[in-house]
Amino acid sequence: MSIDAANKVCLEKIQASTAVWSDIRKAKDVVPGMSERTVLHAGPPLSWKQMCGPMRGAITGACIFEGWATDPEGVARLAESGELEFDSSHHHNAIGPMSGIITPTMQVSVVMNDTNNRETYATLYMGIGKVLRHGAFDDEVMAKLRWMNFELAPLLRTALQHAGGIDLKSIVAQALQMGDELHNRNKASNALLLTALVPHLISVGEKEEVLKAIDFIDKSGHFVLNAVMAGSKGMLDAGANIENSTIVTAIARNGYETGIRVSGLGDRWFTAPAPMIDGVYFPGFGPEDANPDLGDSAITETIGLGSFSMAGAPAVVEYIGGTAQFALETTLKMYEITVSEHKNYKLPPVNFRGAPLGIDIRKVVETGITPVINTGIACRRPGIGQIGAGLTAAPMECFTAALEAFAGRNS
């Protein structure tokens, strides 16, 4: 099969894939290959020594949550002893924003892909600012984490089951007509999720817990994001491992390196040092506080959302910086490195063209244009949390390395 034909097959599989948020389960009960001491993280694999501050902070919170340690020093000792089994979430059909830490007792969303008959997992979204995924772990964060895992998750689970699942692909398609780009602007998608969930929450829950859940989902503003990330990964994985395909199926960052995966090159990661982010900072913080690019959320860009769909979401520039014109230009530029347009995800401001879909490593190298990513900025010091949001890109070295591997794959 020619490269173009292989890419076509890849993109057909990606677009045929469904994404139904069907359940919420404890990670150890569903995530494959999870031992009693597994700690999954965002991005390509890395060692404790290589991990950045926010990832270490999140691991600290997760270990305290699991009861494996009681303070940061104890967690560091545990990590250095080799007792924790670190691995990339991507190796376990899972995904997480920012540090993306998943430990066995955490509750994860289950997003079903009917095409592959595969489940993809993601933790629950915790809010912005001082949150675990950005490396914060004080008492307030830990209390929220416990409430989410032991109270919110069981209620949502029952509501999701009562609903027979929530169609995330439909929510994404609608939200793209409502000013979301689904990575850093989720106002419409979150409202659509809430609208879809509310009748089921009311049907299955007690009044007070339902009110608390609705308030949390509404105020968090981005609650839907993690499930959309799982759905996006599930779709992209449906297009993985197509021989001869040059389509990127994952972009992920661990705060140390950015890595990409390419359909025709299997599960291999092509990595380069994680870049900094050009962004807008919350009051009291600046570039000197910023961690390099971190998190699995660039899976949204990989499926044509995020900065790829910014033309449809000009209001996101109020959060990440820039102008509406820049948002439009970013989308137009991303068409230059993609081989298709998403048949379900349409962008009204560019006359309903499909979102730029199918990043081709050849096009990236030929044009010199790297995939733009809009993203949150974590504080480089553990324990602080999110300090801003902005724009970065997946480094060119990932794509040149992948293209070299592709050229030499039969040699």
Q: Tell me if 168 contacts a second copy by CB under 8 A.
A: no
Q: What is the DSSP string of 112-127?
A: EETTTTEEEEEEPP--
Among 35, 50, 70, 323, binds a second copy (CB under 8 A): 323
**Mask: binding to a second copy, 200-229, rule CB under 8 A, as x and -?**
--xx---x--xx--xx--x-----------
Minimum distance, C-beta of residue 207 to a second copy, in the bound complex (Å):
6
Q: Tell me if 164 contacts a second copy by CB under 8 A.
A: no
What type of residue is 317? V
CB-CB neighbours of 273 under 10 Å: 11
Q: Tell me if 352 contacts a second copy by CB under 8 A.
A: yes
Nearer to a second copy, 264 or 314 (CB): 314
Nearer to a second copy, 174 or 367 (CB): 174
Task: Write the CA distances from 386 to 44, 129, 295, 360, 376, integer angstroms.
Answer: 21, 5, 12, 32, 7
| H or E element at residue 30 | helix 27-30
Q: Do 27 and 107 touch, CB atoms closer than 8 A?
A: yes
| Binding piece for a second copy, criterion CB under 8 A, among 20-28, 42-50, 188-196, 380-388 | 188-196
Pairwise CA distance, residues 153 & 26, whole Å: 9
Q: Tell me if 188 contacts a second copy by CB under 8 A.
A: yes
Question: Which residues from 75-104 bind a second copy, rule CB under 8 A?
Answer: none
Which residue shows structure tokens 């089921």? 200
Nearer to a second copy, 133 or 200 (CB): 200
Pairwise CA distance, residues 231 & 195, whole Å: 19
Pairwise CA distance, residues 318 & 173, whole Å: 22
Which residue shows structure tokens 């503003």? 221
Pairwise CA distance, residues 169 & 247, whole Å: 21
**Mask: binding to a second copy, 239-278, rule CB under 8 A, as x and -?**
----------------------------------------
Nearer to a second copy, 76 or 198 (CB): 198
What residue ranges bind a second copy (CB under 8 A)? 174, 177-180, 187-188, 191-192, 194-195, 198-199, 202-203, 207, 210-211, 214-215, 218, 314-315, 317-318, 323-325, 348-352
